Amino acid sequence: MSSQDLTNISILIKNEVAEEGNTKQRIAGAFDIVNKDKADLINGQIPYTQLPPMFSSMYKGYLKINTTAPNATGLYRLLEVGTYNKLTPAVDENGNSITIITIDSEINEAYYDGSVWKKVETKLPKLGVANEFDPNDDENAQAGKQITGYVNFSLRILTYTVNLEKDNFVKYSQLSSTATFSEGPNSVFGKVSMYKLTGGDVLFGSNFSALEGSDTYDSTKTNVITFWKEYNKVRYFVETFPLEPIIPDYVSYYNFSGKSPNTLLTNIAAESGSSFIGNTGRFKINTSSTMLTATTTATGLSDSIAINKGNLVNYKVTITMAFTTSFQFAINRTSATDYAEYIDILRNSPAFPTSTIKQKTTANPSGVSLGTTTAIPASAPSGYPVEILVNGNTAHLTINNQFVCDIPVSGTGNYFSMIFVGIDDFMIDYKLEAL
């Protein structure tokens, strides 16, 4: 690649974001510095001994077409396009004799093992930008305008593994606690992963390094975090913007406040998405129209209510609620009354501060304790939030904005089911949101 090629890449990046955003403009500014050093190196203005350690430690040396072949074992960068007749003997991966020829559209390198030379080549991504972002395209460059059009808005799970195998752009998410970012496997140099977040806080792995000029994450604003692989580090850049609203992708949403007194759940349609099935006749709106209450004490599985979530793997259930003795829920079951595996939150006494979370099964009805919590208040006339975030085979349980425990999930069915055991247990609202 010539020095002009490097300059052209920087110009293309800047022009692409001329109308929208400044993330890549700032990144391009950093590239300018590196590109100038590379251009000066190619033109012979920077000797190899003055290169920064990240470059000098990677290559044993830099060779032009007419450079005499060195004798030291190691990896060499080939700086010019053409035929390297002096790098002999040279062989391919099968041991066949070849002549090393460099190509303009590749990063060209050669390795000398002490007896033969072998060409090492890395194809550069294409510079053409499609009119529409394709998250499955790992060949063509993707631009800020197309990326912005692709990113839409919904709630997301709280833990993140940054996928840098290919370009990856994650939907707008709201954090309710601290999210830790770690690098995923098989990262590829030059691939970009972008996250759009608000709320909570973020932490980064030990091999993550912020680009100079990066903002500090602000939970009260909308934050766009861009990650990319750079040698042995993951670089990231944070930009903060005025807070944007999140439009959740509801599978089911109920708001029981304001409904007509004594209306049965059977006769209440969801504000959005799927309606409850099961024993909906057991619940009705209270006389003050502020909540949906249980009118009897549950006696068995026939008192369950459920939402058909379809084949969703990642989703979030949030309920503003209160209960007196026991609240049970079953994740990914085959029917509204399938409680072959379920969670039971047990209040030892309405006035006692500690509650126990157990996972129970048909084979072990006594259950296995997953943890305890003091987050459930003794009295809660306005309810408190209970949040279950299902992420594949793990669910995260949060009560009254306090993380309680992780829950192993083995079910693969379509139903999320609940049993409010006590009479006058209540819900104020219910949301099941796709992630």
H or E element, residue 374: none
The reply to whether 287 and 429 lie within a common domain is yes
Q: What is the CATH number of the domain that holds 425?
A: 2.60.120.560
Higher pLDDT, 429 or 147: 429
My answer on whether 368 and 345 are in the same domain is yes
The verdict on 283 and 416 lying in the same domain is yes
> Could you tell me the strand order of the sheet in which 61-63 lies?
61-63, 74-78, 106-112, 117-123, 90-91, 97-98
Say yes or no: 423 and 287 in one domain. Answer: yes
**Higher pLDDT, residue 147 or 283:** 283
189 and 286 inside one domain: no
Q: What is the pLDDT of residues 148-172, one digit of tens each?
A: 444 433 333 456 788 888 888 877 8
Name which of 200, 276, 294 is nearest 432 in CA terms.
276
- Judgement on whether residues 306 and 424 belong to the same structural domain of the protein: yes
Mark whether 116 and 176 lie in a shared domain: no
- In terms of domains, do 342 and 415 share one? yes
Q: Which of 187, 220, 241 is the last residue of a domain?
A: 241
The answer to whether the beta carbons of residues 188 and 164 sit under 8 Å apart is yes
Q: Tell me which of 299 and 93 has the higher pLDDT.
A: 299
Tell me the C-alpha distance between 67 and 86, whole Å: 8
What range defines the domain where residue 118 resides?
Answer: 3-123
Enter the pTM of the model.
Answer: 0.49
Q: Is 187 helix (H, G, I), strand (E, B) or coil?
A: coil
When the pLDDT of each residue in the chain is averaged and rounded to a whole number, the result is 81
> Based on the domain organization, do 406 and 269 belong to the same domain?
yes
Q: Are 273 and 367 within one domain?
A: yes
Rounded to an integer, what distance in angstroms lies between the CA atom of residue 59 and that of residue 56? 6
User: Are the C-beta atoms of residues 434 and 314 closer than 8 Å to each other?
Assistant: yes
Calpha distance 174→155 (Å, rounded): 6
Residues 216 and 275 in one domain: no
The phi, psi pair for 407, rounded to 5°, reads -120, 120
In a 13 Å sphere around the CA of 272, the CA atoms on its Cβ side amount to 12
Cα–Cα dist 346/366, whole Å: 12
pLDDT in tens, 130-148: 554 455 555 555 555 445 4
Q: Which of 241, 272, 301 is the last residue of a domain?
A: 241
- Number of domains composing the chain: 3
Other CB atoms within 10 A of residue 380 CB: 14
Give yes or no for residue 29 having a pLDDT over 60.
no
**Start-to-end CA span in the chain (Å):** 42
Tell me what percent of the residues of the chain surpass a pLDDT of 70: 77
Domain stop point among 217, 241, 265: 241
Predicted confidence (pLDDT) at residue 239 exceeds the cutoff of 80: yes
